[in-house]
Amino acid sequence: MEKDHRLTPFYTKLLEYAESNTISHDVPGHKLGQIDNDMMDYVGLHLFKLDANAPRGLDNLNRPTGVIKEACELMADAFYAEKAYLLTGGTTMGILSMIMSVCRAKEKIILPRNVHKSAINALILSGAVPIFVKPHLDFELGIANHMEFDEVKQAILDNPDAKAVMVINPTYFGVVSDLKRITEFAHEHDMIVLADEAHGSHFQFSDKLPMSAMAAGADMSSCSLHKTVGSLTQSSILVTQGPRVDHIRLRSTINMIQSTSPSSLLLASLDVARKTIYLEGPSQLPKLIEMAHNTRQQINQIQGMKAVDKSYFTSNQAFDYDETKIIVKVSDLGVTGFDVYKELFDVHHIQLELAETHLILAVLSIGTKQKDLDALVSALQMVSDKFYPMHLSAILPKIRYSYPEAYTRPREAYHAPKKYVQISQAVDEIAAESIMIYPPGIPLVIPGEIISEDIINDLDFYQRSGSVILSDTEGGYVKIIDKEYWIKWSELYENE
């Protein structure tokens, strides 16, 4: 039966409740806006009136049977999925749920090395064993991108007992792997396919964009509607299709990590964002892509700036590219992306998505206006006018990356006894934390891997290059497994 996407069942019912003048003797404590505070002075009473908990008629997210169930059915239909789950913990919750529901302790999962940190956390929580595929490295931009099909194919053939394959669709920078081909090959070998579609929620709504995970035949996908579709920050969905998905285990996993007091504001925002992108996306997204194309052309007229396009990535073996992203290489000016990022914010009041050593990234949506892009072009011209006459030496892209050896599972390393040592003294020790570098966005080491001298040298290189280092520890120390006590610990917990 054809769905009517003009409907917003949860939001409509929530609005009805907010205007019902019901006396609140339940939570939340602001009593639907009866406590004045600074935030209410700014946003008004309506936001607080919509922040209801779970009154009669508004359904239960952990076991939906009413308006949330109806909203989920509309969401599934919009994404060409068989089933959809609304998430209030972001796509992080979706990735945790997918991996934990599919992989049990000591079971293998094939995934790209440049996965989001939530995937590493899912390995710890599930006890799964990662089989990493090295992503394609872009030596001009200094970033990590897609997985090549042959690399994934070989990983599948080398690990026929793996339970799942995970693909990023797209990467943070908009680069896409051949997901359909990977999915078909994985299914031939009885493996379930999971997609991290945090930055690709809009793919389903225009044939001018890369193929969505559901269209490619993937079994599960987690989508950040808040990133590119327009729902409130932290609201996401998990969509599924096919007989390989164990929905009882999936629902149980989601309920395990989902709040029992989910935000009605986030749920309502998912409902209305789905309506908007479904009805307006097919007409608005092609216009956005054209706007982005024209903006790149203008940026490429600016001295020292290079806005890369789809042809750049496809000529570098990428399968496809999301043209709603604008990547600008700025390092030919002799300044870093971090410098330009700061300049644009501090001087021109323009907030970018991120900066790397050699580039900046702008993420667009159907909410982007032409005046916003004009302002970006104008500001970049002023940046060029400031730095180009200085004739600074271009910053040459360099990617260093050593593939560490796995000694034990991330989960075992996470729970093992630990100690802290100076990084320079950590050679041949077993990491008990992740150290991730931006750029290129690949973990140098994750819990359970051996810290080699090459990794220490790579870390020093990235620190000197001004990269952002993500780790648990500071001050030149690293957390490692305490081998002296680990043997005793392993005797107690070896079956975990």
Given its phi and psi angles, is residue 44 left (phi above 0), alpha (psi -120 to 50 degrees) or beta? left
At 157-166, the pLDDT tens digits run 999 999 999 9
Q: Report the residue count for the chain.
A: 496
Consecutive H or E run containing 345: helix 337-348
> How confident is the model over 287-311, as a mean pLDDT?
98
Number of domains in the chain: 3
pLDDT of 495 reads 52
pLDDT of 403 reads 78
**Is the domain of 339 the same as that of 383?**
yes
Q: Given pLDDT bands bounded at 50, 70 and 90, which one contains residue 212?
A: very high
Q: Is the pLDDT of residue 194 over 60?
A: yes
pLDDT of 57 reads 83
Q: Given pLDDT bands bounded at 50, 70 and 90, which one contains residue 439?
A: low
Q: Is residue 398 part of a domain?
A: no
At 360-409, the pLDDT tens digits run 999 999 999 999 999 999 999 999 999 999 999 998 876 767 778 999 99
At 33-56, the pLDDT tens digits run 999 999 999 999 999 999 998 778
pLDDT of 442 reads 76
Range of the structural domain that residue 298 is part of: 282-390
pLDDT of 472 reads 85
CATH number, domain of 461, equals 3.90.100.10
At 238-289, the pLDDT tens digits run 999 999 999 999 999 999 999 989 999 999 999 999 999 999 999 999 999 9
At 197-211, the pLDDT tens digits run 999 999 999 999 999
Q: Given pLDDT bands bounded at 50, 70 and 90, which one contains residue 490?
A: low
Given its phi and psi angles, is residue 369 left (phi above 0), alpha (psi -120 to 50 degrees) or beta? beta
**List of residues 6+ apart from 256 with CB closer than 8 A:** none
**Is the domain of 64 the same as that of 143?**
yes
Q: Is residue 402 part of a domain?
A: no
What DSSP line would sit under 266-335, residue for residue? HHHHHHHHHHHHHHHHHHHHHHHHHHHHHHHHHHTTSTT-EEE-HHHHHTTT-SEE-TTEEEEE-GGGTS
**Is the domain of 123 the same as that of 204?**
yes
CATH number, domain of 320, equals 3.90.1150.10
**Is the domain of 81 the same as that of 95?**
yes
CATH number, domain of 168, equals 3.40.640.10
**Is the domain of 292 the same as that of 355?**
yes
**Is the domain of 35 the same as that of 146?**
yes
**Is the domain of 106 the same as that of 194?**
yes
**Is the domain of 25 the same as that of 163?**
yes
> How confident is the model over 170-196, as a mean pLDDT?
97
Q: Given pLDDT bands bounded at 50, 70 and 90, which one contains residue 80?
A: very high
**Is the domain of 104 the same as that of 192?**
yes
**Is the domain of 442 the same as that of 321?**
no
CA dist 171 and 164 (Å) reads 19
Predicted structure pTM score: 0.94
pLDDT of 236 reads 98
SS3 label, residue 86: strand
**Is the domain of 368 the same as that of 382?**
yes
Q: Is residue 289 part of a domain?
A: yes
pLDDT of 485 reads 82
pLDDT of 365 reads 98
Strands 192-197 and 164-168, sheet pairing: parallel
Q: Given pLDDT bands bounded at 50, 70 and 90, which one contains residue 493?
A: low
At which residue do the structure tokens 């931006």 appear? 438
At 88-121, the pLDDT tens digits run 999 999 999 999 999 999 999 999 999 998 999 9
At 16-37, the pLDDT tens digits run 999 998 899 899 999 999 999 9
At 123-152, the pLDDT tens digits run 999 999 999 999 999 989 988 899 999 999
**Is the domain of 286 the same as that of 382?**
yes
